[in-house]
Chains A and B, each alone.
Chain A
Amino acid sequence: MAEKSEYCEHILLSRVDLENSTSIDVYLKSGGYETLKKTVSGRQPQEIVDVVRESGLRGRGGAGFPAGVKWGFLPKDSKLPIYLIGNADEGEPGTFKDRVLIEKDPHQLIEGMAITAFAIKCHTAYIYIRGEFAKGAKILNKAIDEAYEKGFLGDKVCGTDFKFDIYVHRGAGAYVCGEETALIESIEGKKGQPRLKPPFPANVGVFQGPTIVNNVETLSSVPWIVKNGAEAYRKYGTEKSAGTKLFCVSGHVEKPGVYELPLGFPLMQLVNEVCGGVKDGKKLKGVIPGGSSTPILTPEECENVNLDYESLMEAGSMLGSGAVIVLDETVDIVRVAARLGKFYSHESCGQCTPCREGSGYISGLLQRLNEGKGEEGDLELIESLCDNMAGKTVCPLADAMVMPVKGFLKKFRSEFEARIRKKAYQKADKG
């Protein structure tokens, strides 16, 4: 399920290929839970927050916000309990990296959560896992039971006075619940409609308590960082994008899969060297570099871009979740745009008018373009709708639709125009 690469030490995927990698015995044998033991019995919470902040670890769910800084936003004197949530609602099209961490190394995630909880003085955590990952939820529940049995969770973590419980909470099929405030609403038993920020979850989160929501990959990086130190982590990656990251490559490559690479790794080296090149020797048409919400890159743009937060931002796209979708020359971009339009329109939670109405309207226009029924002016209309959605809603789902749609229209405009012209010719022929 996950491929090992030769380009860096494996921080996240070191155990995924071991036999019975999900069992606590295998985890313990490879030094698992040692860091938790040392942390709860000899270190101060603030030390751990500092190490993670200094490591430069950034949120791996897509936003890339520095994890240690996020933890630092928690109020120091909260009267309400502090909560930690592991975001396992992996739903960004193209993304399949957290699934590996959950299904192959659940104890690494549990240890990361326990260390994080100690650092932020939290005693209750939830893992919010997307409903479709039924297998992952089962594996997690079993691993959590094992961790309780061995005393790594519960009233006395590793025999100390630190109390910590983890519960698995299954989602039920809603992309928007990956957004942290929608996720919180969903845990509370409500529709997954995002909250207005501020207040941010670090101040008012689940059950009104201060809450930290971190992605599975972020939390799974914590044990290694705390064990080896910030400097060791910074050996990999770039100044601003430190460490290693999972890249999940799908589409037209010879060897799709999940690869752990240092941030700043060249995109085309990933495609050509790590993944064996574009499938069947075809030509590259474009790469969606960070999940469906990130604007597509043309082959020319791919040429010199590196996979880190800054480089991709500079190239006009985003690192996002590290979901690299490779499209070969045969791909019909109008069809891709129409399919994504349908996705975002389906997943809009319906709360904000610009997103609810705009996503449906754009999706409809894209379907009609794809079916060869587009009219002159459709592209301009889509762009105008995009401008009326972006930045005008409670959560970033509208932006997540607008960014790729605008990217397709800008970079592959001739394909859309050709589709409209084709219809005009057919009309003239019939006339």
Chain B
Amino acid sequence: MALVFSEKAQASYEKLLKRYVDKQAVLLPVLYIAQDEFGWLSDDALKATAELTGTPEAVVRATATFYTMFDKKQVGKHHIQVCTNVSCDIVGSEAILRHLEEKLGIKAGETSVDKKYTLSEVECLGACGYGPMMEITSRGAPGEEIKDEYYENLTVEKVDEILGTLL
């Protein structure tokens, strides 16, 4: 099904254009908008982005697939990202990840059947002194503002508490 950007999104796009002398430069911010609008970057969402920006679809796809934060498959309402890089690993991030896997019934890299949770193992998020840590990206309805939160100095108990607050 052909996807179309909302009027609000189109207005944001017009504003973004003024920031750059080259129109392809809007691609990263517009891909974020597309992700907000359509939930994830499906083929149709990429097509719509190409159309809106007048950029060849192949270029849009090349850029979108290079960056890990652009979701090429549907993610859950709450995307739980656990850093397992060295500073977090040596203070126990693996135990946190395993606990989340058990609690959510999914492995890292998977999305729960009800599409409520996606669990990911990610690279350094720049919170190295406060590990183990995770970032949770929560989406509301399409177009609604995305919530992004860092949770630091995690323990298994703290993780349970945090999970309890996710609606």
Give CA–CA (A167, B39) in the complex, Å.
Answer: 25
A327 contacts partner chain B, Cβ-Cβ < 8 Å: yes
B164 located at the interface, meaning its Cβ lies under 8 Å from any Cβ of chain A in the complex: no
* Alpha-carbon distance between A257 and B130 when the two chains are bound, in angstroms: 8
User: Is A251's CB within 8 Å of the partner chain B?
Assistant: yes
Residues of the A chain whose Cβ atoms lie less than 8 Å from the Cβ of B44? none
Instruction: Report A321 CB to chain B, min CB distance, Å.
Output: 11
B25 and A187 within 8 A (CB)? yes
- B31 interface contact, C-beta 8 A: yes
In the complex, residue of chain A having the shortest beta-carbon distance to the beta carbon of B64: A172
Q: Which residues of B contact A93 (CB under 8 A)?
A: 85-87, 123-124, 128
CA distance A339 to B84 in the complex (A): 8
CB distance from A6 to the nearest CB of B (A): 19
Q: Does A22 contact B (CB under 8 A)?
A: no
In the complex, how many angstroms separate the beta carbon of A247 from the nearest chain B beta carbon?
10
Task: Please report which residues of chain B, range 138-159, place their CB below 8 angstroms from some CB of chain A when the two chains form the complex.
Answer: 146, 148-150
**B106 at interface (Cβ–Cβ under 8 A)?**
no
B64 to chain A, nearest CB (A): 9
A207 with B126: in contact, given A131-B69, A134-B148, A251-B91 (CB under 8 Å)? no
Chain A residues in 8 Å Cβ range of B62: 190-191
Q: Which residues of chain B come closer than 8 Å to A187, judged between CB atoms?
A: 20, 25, 28
B90 at the A/B interface (Cβ < 8 Å)? yes
Q: Are B67 and A251 in contact (CB under 8 A)?
A: no
Q: Within 8 Å CB of B22, what residues of A?
A: 188-189, 207
Q: Which of A43-91 contact B (CB under 8 A)?
A: 81, 90-91
Known: A130-B126, A132-B135, A192-B66. A170 touches B28 (CB 8 A): yes
Interchain nearest-CB distance for A350 vs B (Å): 9
A85 to B55, CA, bound (A): 25
B28 and A169 contacting across the interface, CB-CB below 8 Å:
yes
Determine the distance from Cα of A415 to Cα of B89 in the docked complex, in whole angstroms: 19
Task: Count B-side interface residues using an 8 Å CB cutoff.
Answer: 43
**CA of A292 to CA of B89 in the docked complex: distance in angstroms?**
13
Return A279 CB to nearest CB of chain B, in Å. Answer: 9
Point out the residues of chain B lying under 8 angstroms from A94, CB to CB: 86-87, 124, 128
Question: CB-nearest residue of chain B relative to A190?
Answer: B63
* Contact string against B for A residues 350-366, beta-carbon threshold 8 Å, 1 for contact and 0 otherwise: 00000000000000000
Question: Which residues on the A side are within 8 Å of B19 (C-beta)?
Answer: 167
Q: Please tell me if B32 contacts chain A, counting CB pairs below 8 Å.
A: yes
Contact (Cβ within 8 A) B87 A251: yes
B27 within 8 A of A: yes
- B112-134, CB < 8 A from A: 123-131
Residues on the A chain within 8 Å of B28, using CB = 169-172, 186-187, 189
Which of A192, A248, A346 is close to B128, meaning CB atoms less than 8 Å apart? A248
The reply to whether A252 and B90 contact each other, CB–CB distance below 8 Å, is: yes
Indicate whether B21 reaches chain A with its CB closer than 8 angstroms.
yes
Closest to B53 in A: A189
Task: Determine if A250 is an interface residue (Cβ-Cβ < 8 Å).
Answer: yes
Residue of B nearest to A128 (CB): B28
The one of A133, A251, A347 that contacts B123, using a Cβ cutoff of 8 Å: A347
In the complex, A93 Cα to B128 Cα: how many Å?
Answer: 8
Which A residues touch B20, using CB under 8 A? 187, 207
A335 vs B89: C-alpha distance when bound (angstroms) = 9
B24 touches A96 (CB 8 A): no
Does A336 make an interface contact (CB < 8 A)?
Answer: yes
Chain A 178-202 per-residue mask, 1 if CB under 8 angstroms from chain B, else 0? 0000000011111110000000000
Nearest-neighbour CB distance to chain A for B123, whole angstroms, equals 6
Chain B residues closer than 8 Å to A249, beta-carbon distance: 129
Residues in chain A near residue B29, CB distance under 8 A: 169-170
A256: chain B residues within 8 A (beta carbon): 128-130
User: Within residues 1 to 38 of chain B, which ones have a CB less than 8 A from any CB in chain A?
Assistant: 19-22, 24-29, 31-32
Say whether B67 contacts A174, CB under 8 Å.
yes
Any A CB within 8 A of the CB of B68: yes
A157 surroundings in chain B (CB, below 8 A): none
Indicate whether A331 reaches chain B with its CB closer than 8 angstroms.
yes
Which residue numbers of A lie inside 8 Å of B, CB to CB? 81, 90-96, 98-99, 130-135, 167, 169-175, 186-192, 207, 248-252, 256-258, 288, 292, 323, 325, 327, 331, 335-336, 339-340, 343, 346-347, 349
Residue numbers of B with Cβ under 8 A of A are 19-22, 24-29, 31-32, 55, 59, 62-63, 66-70, 84-87, 89-91, 123-131, 135, 137, 146, 148-150
Identify 16 new A-B residue pairs, CB closer than 8 A, beyond the known A172-B69, A250-B128.
A91-B123, A94-B124, A95-B124, A96-B129, A96-B130, A170-B29, A172-B28, A172-B68, A188-B22, A190-B24, A190-B62, A192-B66, A250-B129, A331-B90, A336-B86, A340-B85
| Chain A to chain B: the 9 pairs with minimum beta-carbon distance, closest first | A189-B27, A172-B67, A173-B68, A134-B148, A256-B129, A250-B128, A173-B69, A250-B87, A189-B24
Residue pairs across A and B with Cβ atoms less than 8 A apart, 25 shown, are A93-B85, A93-B86, A93-B128, A94-B86, A95-B126, A96-B127, A96-B129, A132-B148, A135-B148, A170-B32, A172-B28, A173-B67, A175-B123, A188-B22, A189-B22, A190-B62, A190-B63, A192-B67, A207-B21, A251-B86, A292-B85, A325-B86, A339-B84, A340-B85, A346-B123
